[in-house]
């Protein structure tokens, strides 16, 4: 078969990145069903799980099914490039959710991009966005941090680097490490930092626990956590600055603008550093600069 006509780019071969259900197979879209059935080659993180999904969906892949996991992805990329170059459609799927997001797939995508081959996406379920939406925490700006480090010392250092992150943070975690990770987060971010523990999303026993990190950590320490886990943590709230600090921030905006930087850009940059409002800094910088002019 040739590449699907409803995607971007010229007709011919393509790598199609396809999201699969994260728990409930009813979330599979008609496009995914068709793609599984019609692709010339299916690269799957775990071929056994793919066959179980296809069985649940009543689909029989026509194309060849090959594995694509962490330890063979580099070698598999060359085969995928060759197939797409030959005009074939390669479907990339992981065990759940979007490939290349804490799952294999990045190297395949990168290889096709480097060879100027067509890459398109078949969107669908996402554990990251599902947990973010369910958390009740701010969603306008967020960062996905993947799995925290396994070793306690490395994990503590990585979390410390995020201490001043103001965006909502989303993490994946395994159930048997959740208690330790929540305790480490409470120590680094503070017991009172708002957070949510989301597990078994879209499955029968879906659960979302919301509350301060300290409370969540204490609860998990007593109750065994099971299933796939997403942790969502609020970013650091803007610091309350004194009038002297606000004046210093305004002065920095003025100096940056006099050095050639656009005033709006300077205000935006200082706003990120200080947590102050961009409009506040912009308006005060204009006023301060006007007072100094003859």
What does pLDDT average to over the chain?
Answer: 91
Task: Look at residue 7 in the predicted model and tell me its pLDDT.
Answer: 40
Check whether residue 210 and residue 114 sit in a common domain: no
Domain boundary among the residues 105, 125, 145 is at 125
DSSP one-letter string for the chain: ----TTSSS-SS-EEEEE-B-SS-GGG--HHHHHHHHH-SEEEES-HHHHHHHHHHHT----SEEEE--TTTHHHHHHHHHHHHHTT-EEEEE-SSB-TTSSSTTHHHHHHHHHTT--EEEE----HHHHHHHHH-S--SSEEEEESPPSSHHHHHHHHHTTTT--SEEEEEE-GGGHHHHHHHHHHHH-TT-EEEEEESTTSTT-EEEEEEHHHHHHHHHHS---S-EEEEEPPPPPP---HHHHHHHHHHHHHHHHTT--HHHHHHHHHHHH---HHHHHHHHHHHHHHH--
Residue pLDDT, tens place only, 38-83: 999 999 999 999 999 999 999 999 999 999 998 999 999 999 999 9
Task: Select the more confidently predicted residue: 285 or 161.
Answer: 161
> Are 209 and 190 members of one domain?
yes
Give yes or no: residues 114 and 208 share one domain: no
Give the pLDDT confidence score for residue 241 in this predicted structure. Answer: 63
Q: What is the CATH number of the domain that holds 34?
A: 3.40.1010.10
Model pLDDT, residue 1: 46
**In the chain, what is the greatest distance between 2 CA atoms, to the nearest angstrom?**
79
The whole-number pLDDT of residue 2 equals 42
- What's the Rg (C-alpha) of the chain? 24
What total number of domains does the chain contain?
A: 3
pLDDT above 90 as % of the chain: 72
Is 238 within a domain?
A: no
Tokens of 231: 């942790």
Q: Does 5 fall in a domain?
A: no
Q: Is the pLDDT of residue 28 over 90?
A: yes
* Predicted pLDDT of residue 269: 86
**Average pLDDT, integer, range 16-24:** 97
Tell me the residue range of the domain where 188 lies.
128-233
- Cβ of 34: how many Cβ atoms within 10 Å? 13
Domain annotation covers residue 2: no
Convert the pLDDT of each residue in 132-189 to its tens digit. Answer: 999 999 999 999 999 999 999 999 999 999 998 999 999 999 999 999 999 999 999 9
Q: In the beta sheet, which residues pair with residue 209? A: 197
> Is 4 domain-assigned?
no
pLDDT(6) > 50: no
Tell me, yes or no, whether 120 and 132 share the same domain.
no
pTM summary value: 0.79
144 and 91 inside one domain: no
Residue 204 has pLDDT above 90, yes or no: yes
Statement to judge: residues 98 and 109 lie in one domain: yes
Worst-scoring range by mean pLDDT, 9-18, 123-132, 200-209? 9-18
Name the one residue in this structure whose structure tokens are 């886990």: 229
Confidence band, pLDDT 50/70/90 cuts, at residue 5: very low
Mean pLDDT, residues 256-276 taken together: 84
Residues 124 and 229: their CA atoms lie apart, in Å, by 19
Structure tokens at 217: 């950590």
Q: Is residue 3 domain-resident? A: no
Q: Is residue 102 part of a domain?
A: yes
Mean local confidence (pLDDT), 225-244 = 85
CATH number at residue 188: 3.30.950.10
Candidate from 8-12, 18-22, 208-212 with smallest mean pLDDT: 8-12
Edge-to-edge strand list for the sheet holding 14-18: 64-67, 41-44, 89-93, 14-18, 119-122
Q: Are 43 and 92 in contact (CB under 8 A)?
A: yes
Residue 9 pLDDT > 50, yes or no?
Answer: no
Mean pLDDT of 226-231: 94
- 70 within a domain of the structure (yes/no): yes
- Over residues 89-111, the mean pLDDT reads 95
> 294: pLDDT confidence band, cut at 50, 70 and 90?
low
Domain identity same for 256 and 204: no
- Which pLDDT score is estimated for 268? 87
Least confident of 6-15, 192-201, 224-233, 279-288: 6-15
Per-residue confidence at 293, pLDDT binned at 50, 70, 90?
low
Is 66 within a domain? yes
């Amino acid at each position: 078969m040739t590449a699907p006509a409803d995607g971007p780019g010229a007709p011919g071969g393509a790598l199609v990145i396809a999201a699969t259900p994260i728990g409930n197979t009813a979330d599979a879209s008609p496009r995914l069903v068709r793609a599984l059935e019609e692709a010339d080659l299916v690269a799957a993180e775990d071929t056994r799980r793919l066959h179980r999904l296809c069985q649940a969906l009543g689909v029989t892949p026509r194309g060849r099914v090959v594995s694509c996991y962490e330890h063979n992805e580099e070698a598999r990329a060359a085969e995928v490039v060759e197939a797409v170059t030959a005009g074939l459609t390669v479907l990339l799927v992981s065990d759940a959710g979007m490939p290349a997001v804490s799952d294999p797939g990045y190297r395949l995508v990168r290889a096709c991009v480097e060879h100027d081959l067509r890459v398109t996406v078949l969107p669908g379920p996402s554990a990251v966005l599902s947990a973010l939406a369910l958390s009740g925490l701010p969603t306008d700006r967020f960062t996905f941090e993947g799995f925290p480090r396994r070793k306690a010392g490395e994990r503590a250092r990585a979390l410390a680097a995020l201490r001043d992150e103001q965006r909502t943070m989303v993490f994946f975690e395994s159930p048997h490490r959740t208690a330790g990770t929540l305790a480490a987060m409470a120590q680094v971010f503070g017991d009172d930092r708002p957070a949510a523990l989301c597990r078994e999303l879209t499955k029968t026993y879906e659960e979302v626990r919301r509350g301060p990190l300290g409370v969540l950590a204490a609860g998990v320490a007593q109750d065994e956590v099971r299933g796939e886990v997403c942790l969502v943590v609020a970013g650091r709230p803007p610091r309350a600055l004194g009038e002297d600090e606000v004046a210093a921030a305004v002065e920095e905006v003025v100096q940056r603008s006099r050095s050639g930087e656009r005033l709006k850009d300077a205000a935006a940059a200082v706003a990120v550093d200080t947590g102050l409002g961009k409009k506040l800094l912009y308006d005060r910088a204009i006023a301060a600069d006007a007072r100094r002019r003859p």
